[in-house]
Amino acid sequence: MARLQLIVIGSAAGGGFPQWNCGRAVSSLFWQGDTRVVPRTQSSIAASVDGSRWVLLNASPDLRHQIIATPALHPRAGERHSPIAAVVLTNGDIDHVAGLLTLRERQPFDLYATAAIQEVLSANPIFEALDRTVVRRHTIALGDTVETGAGVAIEIFPVPGKIPLYMENGEPEIGAETEATVGARIIGRDGAQTFYIPGCAHLSPALRERLKDASLVLFDGTLWTDDEMIRQGVGQKTGQRMGHISMSGDGGSIAAFKDLGVARKVFVHINNTNPVLIDDSPQRRAAEEAGWEIAVDGMEIAL
Q: What are the pLDDT tens digits along the chain (303 aa)?
A: 578 999 999 999 999 999 999 999 899 999 999 999 999 999 999 999 999 999 999 999 999 999 999 999 999 989 999 999 999 999 999 999 999 999 999 999 999 999 999 999 999 999 999 999 999 999 999 999 999 977 899 999 999 999 998 888 878 888 989 999 999 999 998 888 999 999 999 999 999 999 999 999 999 999 999 999 999 988 889 989 999 999 999 999 999 999 999 999 999 999 999 999 999 999 999 999 999 999 999 999 998
67-to-103, 113, 123 alpha-carbon distances in Å:
11, 22, 27
Q: Which domains does the chain have, with CATH numbers?
A: 5-302 (3.60.15.10)
Q: What pTM does this model have?
A: 0.96
pLDDT at 50: 94
Beta bridge partners of 112: 88, 138
The pLDDT value recorded for residue 1 is 53
**pLDDT number for residue 166:** 87
